[in-house]
Amino acid sequence: MALGAVYAALLYYRDTTFDEKTSGSKWAKYAMTGFRFLAVTVLAVLLLSPFIRTRNTQKFKPVVAVINDNSESVKNSFGKDSTEYKKKLRALVDKLSDKYDVAQFNAGDELKRGIDFSYRDKSTDLSTAIDEVNDLYYNQNLGAVVIASDGIYNKGINPVYTAAKASYSIYTIALGDTTVQKDQKLSNVYYNKIAYLNDQFALRVDVEENNLAGKNVKLSVYEVETGSDAKLIQSKDIFYSSDSYFQSFDFVVPANKVGIAHYRISLSNIEGEITYSNNVRDVFVEVLDGRQKILLVANSPHPDIASFKSAIESNKNYQLDVEYAETFSKKLNDYNLVILHQLPSASNKVSNILKDAREQKKPLLFVLGSQTSLPDFQKAQSGLIIKGNADKFNDVTAYVAKDFSLFTLSDKTVQTIPKLPPFSCFFGDYNANPSSKKILDQKINSVETDFPLWLFNETGDEKLGVICGEGLWRWRLYDYLLNKNHEATNELINKTVQYLSVKADKRPFRVNLPKNIFQDNEAITFDAQLYNANYELINSADVEMKIIGEDSKEYEYKFNKTENAYNVNVGFLPVGNYSYNAAVKFGNGTYTANGKFSVSPLQLEEMRTRADHQVLYQLASQHNGAMHYLNDMEKIADEIDLKNQLKPILYDTFMTESAINLKWIFFLLLTLISAEWFIRKYLGGY
């Protein structure tokens, strides 16, 4: 400031240049002195390189999550009219929005953003809904959750247990009726989803009834065939002797045709029932023309063997026999695939098995481990050479190879595999045959190598697979820890077995489905592959497909192109049997692929017609909330204000930067200097 004052004084203190123009008035001189003083002062301050610290405060309202049960059971509880509930819930959301950030969700098959009152979901999973809200608003200002439901859940665990860790308040709106209504239902149908041609399979049907004492009904089983009326197979007469009736009935049904058999089980309707939808159940059974037989020959007992057995036998298409090399004396003729676990070994060369497999062109799956004899393994196959020390091992994790195309794994499995514990593999260099296809590679410590962990090789009519380590039992345990099931490891093993055991498919165009029977709340996805004359995957041509339902309704689709293949998600289809026909024009010809699949109904929501308000009461009472009914649900907003006294959270952000970076300082200097220059020029100065 002193520098600015001295500079301005030296320039204007004794200057009389402008006195004549201003008739002795000092205003212009004072103005120019002030402008020069401020400009020089600001420049002098900037020479000190000052920093400016700014504070930015953001205000976040408390969050209130409103979860609407969007399942079919709620729709049934409303009957035809849900207008009052919709109106009151919207009013509640509007009132809460005045003070809170309201997040709206539909709960049913899964948690979805927004409330649409469609009530189409085929199941109710309240526990997952609460869990996902916890994750979405972790470490955020979630003050309360409002759940509008009938309390009926048929997926997941009891939501009371899931909510136990919640620190926010829970309010519930009890929908539906807890009164025992007049109703009969097929509460359960037990059956095997796979049967074999010319066998018989059992159907066990549980019949339950309330408040219909003295009534006679008929329980019938029909076979439903496309294009014809349902054919009655068996029926039984039932007399309801009391107002609370439960009994199981057994039927034996013949499997006469290969393919998907559709059966309909029904109870004759009684006037006055609350609903007739639970009087009918449709079941689909896949009838196969024989079971694939798998042989596992092991060097000695090992926990991985039990893992193979559990995974393979989870698929009813396969039968696994386990033998030990020392006592094995069977023939390979009856088997579709031979698994050699840590064979050949130093004590068991299994020369006869290898010779017979080669002569009969049986596919082989080698599982390597500490007991495997590396030299004998190298001689037995040509898909993989390992140059290493048979006494040293590495702990390696797996990652999925990008260019594998023999079959596809689900996204869930691909995401799970890198998280699984390490395999124990031979230490050394792994050289895969150029014709081999790797599905999993080795990751050593944090380095992704090109060493195979899981590979396949096909030479002529001979197929083989190699799993380069042991530790599958750990994978299955950790898979269950992560996902509460073994689906990832089961899928990898079963698709390996399927690829090796099925005879080579040389068709240039193929269309695949992950399974033949879907639930009506499952999206259906098709994969397709097209091969050129060199048997290389290509996807230059367009693939179109037509799906035809049993009602002759047609659905047309065009496949999407992936890296070197095709896929299409056709979404959800109505219950029934379907056939598909896909076609692609390539070269001078047109290639086609066709098949059949079925969509079965998921009838969880019809099985319970009586609301369970006890669950809603427990949720509210254990979390500083309250349960309300339709007539007083608007009180929830006032109770949240009164009980919780939720406050917004203020987040302060501090930022320090050099003052020379502030643009407004530049414009201030420009304005001061320009103003002084303008006055000088106006008064005739230079």
**Structural contact between residues 338 and 363, judged by C-beta atoms closer than 8 angstroms:** yes
CATH of the domain at 467: 3.40.50.880
102 shares a domain with 215 = no
591 shares a domain with 497 = no
Does residue 653 belong to any structural domain of this protein?
A: no
Looking at residue 89, what is its pLDDT? 92
Q: In this structure, how many other beta carbons lie within 10 angstroms of the beta carbon of residue 504? A: 11
Vertex 418, ends 452 and 482: CA angle to 5°?
140
Does residue 605 belong to any structural domain of this protein?
A: no
CATH of the domain at 617: 3.40.50.410
Number of domains in the chain: 5
82 shares a domain with 114 = yes
Measure Cα distances from 498 to 258, 266, 363, 666, 679 in Å: 19, 37, 11, 73, 92
Query: Could you tell me the sign of the dihedral formed by the alpha carbons of 438, 444, 450, 452, in that order?
Result: negative
Looking at residue 25, what is its pLDDT? 67
CATH of the domain at 255: 2.60.40.10
- Does this model's pTM top 0.75? no
Final residue of a structural domain among 474, 501, 528 = 501
437 shares a domain with 404 = yes
Does residue 652 belong to any structural domain of this protein?
A: no
463 shares a domain with 316 = yes
Does residue 85 belong to any structural domain of this protein?
A: yes
Looking at residue 499, what is its pLDDT? 87
Looking at residue 626, what is its pLDDT? 92
556 shares a domain with 478 = no
312 shares a domain with 433 = yes
Nearest to 244 by CA among 207, 208, 205: 208
Looking at residue 305, what is its pLDDT? 94
Does residue 57 belong to any structural domain of this protein?
A: no
444 shares a domain with 315 = yes
Alpha-carbon span 673 to 34, nearest angstrom: 11
E strand or H helix that includes residue 133: helix 126-136
Looking at residue 176, what is its pLDDT? 83
- The parts of the chain modelled with pLDDT lower than 50 are none
316 shares a domain with 412 = yes
One DSSP character per residue, 386-450 reads EEEEEEEEEEEEEEE-TT--SS---HHHHHHGGGSPPEEEEEEEEEE-TT-EEEEEEEETTEEEE
Does residue 278 belong to any structural domain of this protein?
A: yes
- Domain with 551 in it: 509-600
Does residue 87 belong to any structural domain of this protein?
A: yes
Does residue 621 belong to any structural domain of this protein?
A: yes
One DSSP character per residue, 589-638 reads EEEEEEEEEEEE---STTS--S--HHHHHHHHHTTT--EEEGGGTTHHHH
Final residue of a structural domain among 477, 501, 525 = 501
Final residue of a structural domain among 501, 532, 556 = 501
* Amino acid occupying residue 328: F
Distance of CA 513 to the CA centre of its chain: 18
389 shares a domain with 313 = yes
346 shares a domain with 470 = yes
Report the SS3 class of residue 150: coil
Beta bridge partners, 455, equal 438, 466
Looking at residue 452, what is its pLDDT? 93
Backbone angles phi, psi at 626, to 5 degrees: -155, 150
120 shares a domain with 37 = no
Looking at residue 33, what is its pLDDT? 87
Looking at residue 26, what is its pLDDT? 74
